A and B are shown apart, each in its own frame.
Chain A
Amino acid sequence: MTRTRARTLRATRRDVAEHAGMVEQSPIGRTPAQPGTQRPAPARTAPQNSLPVVLVVGTLLVAAFVGLIWFAQRSNGLAPDLSEVLWALSAACLIMLLALGFILARNVITLVVERRRAVPFARFRAKLVAALVGMTLIPSVLVLIVGSEVIRSSAERWFSAPIDDVLTSAHTIARGVYQDQQAALEARARRLAVRLAEVDLGVTDEADIRRLVEALEVPAGAGVVDVYRVGVDATGSPTASRIVEVPAPFLPPGYSRASADALAASRASGSAETGAVEPLDDGAELLRAAAVIRRTPDGPVVGVVVASSALSGDLTQHTRRIEGAYEAYEQLRVLARPVAAVYLSFFLMTTLMILIAATWLGLYIAKRIGRPVQLLADGAQRIGTGQLDHRIEPESSDEFGAMVEAFNTMAEELSASQRTLVRSRGDLEHKTREAERRRRYIETILERIATGVVSIDAAGRLSTVNAAAARVLDIDATVVGQPAATVFERPDLAPLGSMLREARRGVLARTVKEVSLARDGRECHLAVAATSLPGEHELDGVVMVFDDVTPLFRAQRVAAWRDVARRLAHEIKNPLTPIQLCAERLRRNLSGAPAQAKALVDECTATIIGEVEALKGLVDEFSHFARLPSPKAVPADLNALLSDTLAIYDGLFEDITLQRAFQTGLPLVRIDPDQIQRVVVNLVDNAVAALEGKTGLTGAVTAQGVIRIETQLDATNGVARVTVSDNGPGISDVDREKLFLPYFSTKGRGSGLGLAIVRRIVIEHGGSIEVTDNAPSGTRFTVELPCANELSGERTGAAAVAKGHA
């Protein structure tokens, strides 16, 4: 009934769970997903714990108990030899004792093992078993001890002194009667033997012997005299043959001569047996006494005389009854211990049966009580370890069954909650992973972008400094976590620090400024935007974003200069031709003037025309700078180009040496040879100008000028590097920054467009140019040009762009 109800309940729950979609996920992977809530198969009850077996064994125990009582009641009729009974009882007691010990030991060991293994409910079960067994064991043992003492003392009281005296006296009297009779008979027999020794039994006539006996001893009452002659048989053994039988006038019924013959034969053979007792039919007894007949005291036995006398039936019965009572008393004294042992064994066996039954029943009750609780404890432990699908099969419909049902309901709800929790956890993990992915994405972008990003938290500590910011601001990434005020108190970062302070003060939600910072002697222009991050109650922090707009700034300046140059060239070049024409006309028209005037005119017009030509050249330079054509790049041998270009300087300078250090195996480069030739000439001219007796910042005069032109292949970046260095006075840091700007010149003459054009040509070739100090003195220009092959070209382009921006 209970199991049917449980199955129905299980099926219903499974249906509900399946419909609710609650069985798709397993809790944290500990238990595989299973279709619905599953209960364990009902635990098989041990045979000794099943109710039918208990009833059968109980019935057998009761039957054995009743049989024991029945047997004990009939123990008085047991045979005097109680050995077998005692043996059987001892064996039964030992077996039951062993059974009891086994039951107790097994359960004790089980309980100890369960306690050591920390099996749930083991302690309570041990206490319960101990209480039940103790409640049975202690009273039973006490009753056994008291009962044993009672039996033992009762056995001692069986033998009291008065009864002992009475029975001993009666026994003495009865024995005296027999002994008196026996003694009288023996005396008669001896007297007859003496008289019969006077005759020769071998030859004397039977009638004579009879007369002699009758004359000597006339049997009185129920008495008989038998005379035997002793001879030797063929084997040499003595024999006794009856010669005469002198019976009493009336013989007792049941009289037989056999015992007399046996007694005579025994005496004839030398036996010391002198008497015998022969029972008669009416309860009487016939006493016999035998005496041997010797002719001389030391002579051989020639005959035997047996005298018999009957005791009356009444006397015999009384004496035998007395003897029987005495013997029974004595036998009881002898068997007192085994008899008491039998009673004790009965008692012990009964006690053991009660103990076994009570112990077993106690253990059974303990299991019946403990098993549901143990199942609940075990189930709670399993639930605790995450096995939320564990269910307990109800084994009864009582309060324990209701408790089990409540436990299963709780487990079901826990399982549902766990599944919900797992789903939520999965969603949360998914969102966390997504957020992490987005964070990494943003971090990657922050690290890759050229825009610098710096953020500070509400406490004013730096929380974000991306790579671009670290590079532009020349700070280390380890500053993250440090107070922003400390980091930005550096003089070159002071403008940024003030912007951060303003943003933190919340003066403006967003502040955009253009800030110039001195970086390695160069001016770095930043477009900075500082934005405060408002929180719920106060400012969460400030984020500052800035871009290095220095290249843009330079480009704008170059564009402005180019525009100025173009306008200047246009505005200046137009009036130059009329001026020149006018000057030439004046000189031509005044050619006939006096010599002095003519000389003045010629001088002035020559000056005008010369200056106009100079202005034209200057304007052409300006125009050329403004309208520099795009390079027509073709693969070319850079070393050959340099050799051809430098050939024009051969023999021009006495104090200047041009050193060539070209790397062999240089690949072709894609260049416009004319423009690159112009670049090289420009750089060499600058170097020559620097070495032609000019004084540098140090004031030292260059004694022997050396201009070194090198080529080198940078295979890694796919560029060919041209280096023009001199050992001149060098360039100051301030001048170096403005070196590539148009119209900047340190020579005091010229247009100041040479290096600007050089830089433009190199950049339009996809290359780069930079100027550094030469060691130990002088200036070093390095031009990088991309190689002709595709791969190198790509790499070189990328490198050039990067350096160009820098």
Chain B
Amino acid sequence: MRQVLVCVAVWVVSVASPPVARAQRDVVVTTLTREDHVLVSLELRGAYTEEVRDTVASGLETTFSFDIELRQPVAFWLDRTVDRVSVSASVRYDGLIGRYRVTRVYGRVEQVQVVEEEAAVRQLLTTLERLPLFGTRDLETNGDYSVRVRVDRRPRTGWFRWPWDRAAALGRASFTFLP
């Protein structure tokens, strides 16, 4: 009886863990402090898969949502969330005229771009360059901070979704704030 329970537990962990483990290494996050902002750059590697390409080509609006949190580590406890920003990049393909309409929204800023090359679409969807997402006014000098990124993609086209599998990819970068 005990052996059966152990086997079931191992199976559940082995089934549930790979998405999380895989997601942890798919987002490359870099931070840079300039003037009064923390500039965040991220690259979502391997996210523009054939499946995403088919989804975009079908005319479905495909969105990559980036939930970016600025965190401050707390000893022997959970990190404290200093600020949180949501960034999204959506694309909709017009099959008649063969153009992609890419919309990127972060904060109150919305950028709309119409492109015809798929490579440009991949770039716009999976890469964010030096976005001034967080202010440095409330940051402590020489304080250690981290930026955690959770990426979700819609629509999902898999057979099943684990209830706890809320993020398609995860990324994290730490830095010490030096004004």
Residues on A close to B: CB < 8 A?
80-83, 86-87, 90-91, 94, 109, 112, 171, 174-175, 178-179, 182, 272-273, 275-277, 319-320, 323, 326-327, 330-331, 333-335, 337-338, 340-341, 344
Contacts of A272 in B (CB 8 A): 115-116
Is A82's CB under 8 angstroms from B155's CB? yes
Is B161's CB under 8 angstroms from A86's CB? yes
Contacts of B97 in A (CB 8 A): 175, 178-179, 182, 275, 277
Is A334's CB under 8 angstroms from B94's CB? no
Is B95's CB under 8 angstroms from A326's CB? yes
- With A86-B156, A326-B95 as contacts: A331 and B59 at CB distance below 8 Å: yes
Give complex CA distance A749, B58 in Å.
166
- With A87-B163, A331-B60 as contacts: A337 and B157 at CB distance below 8 Å: yes
Is B155's CB under 8 angstroms from A335's CB? yes
Contacts of B163 in A (CB 8 A): 87, 90-91, 94
Give complex CA distance A319, B155 in Å.
26
Give complex CA distance A171, B1 in Å.
60
Is A338's CB under 8 angstroms from B96's CB? no
Candidates B60, B96, B99; contact of A319 at CB < 8 Å: B96
Contacts of A273 in B (CB 8 A): 114-116
Q: List 13 A-B contacts (CB under 8 A).
A: A109-B1, A178-B97, A272-B115, A273-B115, A277-B97, A323-B59, A330-B54, A331-B59, A333-B54, A334-B155, A338-B156, A338-B159, A341-B159
B107 at the interface (CB under 8 A from A): no
Is B161's CB under 8 angstroms from A334's CB? no
Is B58's CB under 8 angstroms from A83's CB? no
Give complex CA distance A8, B103 in Å.
82
Nearest B-chain residue to A336, judged by Cβ = B157
B154 at the interface (CB under 8 A from A): yes
Give complex CA distance A80, B156 in Å.
10
Residue from A90, A109, A171 with most neighbouring chain B CB atoms (10 Å): A90
Is B95's CB under 8 angstroms from A171's CB? yes
B73 at the interface (CB under 8 A from A): no
Dominant SS among interface residues on chain A: helix
State how many angstroms separate the Cβ of A520 from the closest Cβ of chain B.
87
Number of A-B contacts defined by CB within 8 Å: 88
Contacts of A182 in B (CB 8 A): 97
Candidates A90, A323, A331, A333; contact of B160 at CB < 8 Å: A90
Is B159's CB under 8 angstroms from A80's CB? no
Contacts of A90 in B (CB 8 A): 160-163
Dominant SS among interface residues on chain B: loop
Shortest beta-carbon contacts, A-B, top 3: A327-B59, A330-B58, A91-B163
- With A323-B95, A331-B59 as contacts: A83 and B114 at CB distance below 8 Å: no
Contacts of B161 in A (CB 8 A): 83, 86-87, 90
- A-contacting residues, B158-176, CB 8 Å: 158-163
State how many angstroms separate the Cβ of A552 from the closest Cβ of chain B.
93
Nearest B-chain residue to A85, judged by Cβ = B161
- With A86-B160, A175-B98, A178-B97 as contacts: A330 and B155 at CB distance below 8 Å: no
Is A334's CB under 8 angstroms from B156's CB? no
- With A86-B161, A91-B163, A94-B163 as contacts: A327 and B114 at CB distance below 8 Å: no
- With A80-B60, A327-B59 as contacts: A320 and B157 at CB distance below 8 Å: no
Nearest A-chain residue to B156, judged by Cβ = A83
Contacts of A171 in B (CB 8 A): 95
Give complex CA distance A647, B121 in Å.
161
Contacts of B159 in A (CB 8 A): 337-338, 340-341, 344
State how many angstroms separate the Cβ of A207 from the closest Cβ of chain B.
34
Contacts of A179 in B (CB 8 A): 97-98
Contacts of B59 in A (CB 8 A): 323, 327, 330-331
- A-contacting residues, B119-152, CB 8 Å: none
State how many angstroms separate the Cβ of B120 from the closest Cβ of chain A.
9
Nearest B-chain residue to A91, judged by Cβ = B163
- With A86-B160, A87-B161, A171-B95 as contacts: A334 and B114 at CB distance below 8 Å: no
Give complex CA distance A203, B155 in Å.
54
Is B58's CB under 8 angstroms from A331's CB? yes
Contacts of B158 in A (CB 8 A): 337-338, 341
Candidates B1, B99, B156; contact of A112 at CB < 8 Å: B1
Known: A320-B96, A338-B159. 5 other contacts (CB 8 A): A81-B154, A90-B163, A179-B98, A277-B94, A327-B60
State how many angstroms separate the Cβ of B135 from the closest Cβ of chain A.
25
Give complex CA distance A272, B155 in Å.
29
State how many angstroms separate the Cβ of A325 from the closest Cβ of chain B.
11
Contacts of A338 in B (CB 8 A): 155-159
B87 at the interface (CB under 8 A from A): no
Contacts of B86 in A (CB 8 A): none
Give complex CA distance A87, B55 in Å.
19
State how many angstroms separate the Cβ of B85 from the closest Cβ of chain A.
22
State how many angstroms separate the Cβ of A794 from the closest Cβ of chain B.
86
Is B155's CB under 8 angstroms from A81's CB? yes
B57 at the interface (CB under 8 A from A): yes
Is A334's CB under 8 angstroms from B154's CB? no
State how many angstroms separate the Cβ of B87 from the closest Cβ of chain A.
19
Give complex CA distance A3, B115 in Å.
82
Give complex CA distance A412, B154 in Å.
75
Candidates B98, B99, B116, B155; contact of A83 at CB < 8 Å: B155
Give complex CA distance A327, B160 in Å.
24
Is B95's CB under 8 angstroms from A327's CB? yes
Give complex CA distance A326, B59 in Å.
9
Q: Mark B6-17, 1 if CB is under 8 A from A, else 0.
A: 000000000000
Is B157's CB under 8 angstroms from A335's CB? yes
Is A83's CB under 8 angstroms from B154's CB? yes
Contacts of B98 in A (CB 8 A): 175, 179
Residue from B58, B98, B162 with most neighbouring chain A CB atoms (10 Å): B58
Contacts of A320 in B (CB 8 A): 96
Give complex CA distance A125, B34 in Å.
73
Give complex CA distance A82, B94 in Å.
22
State how many angstroms separate the Cβ of A321 from the closest Cβ of chain B.
11
Is B96's CB under 8 angstroms from A178's CB? yes
Contacts of A275 in B (CB 8 A): 97, 99
Nearest B-chain residue to A330, judged by Cβ = B58
- A-contacting residues, B38-57, CB 8 Å: 51, 54-55, 57
Contacts of B58 in A (CB 8 A): 327, 330-331, 333-334
Contacts of B96 in A (CB 8 A): 174-175, 178, 319-320, 323
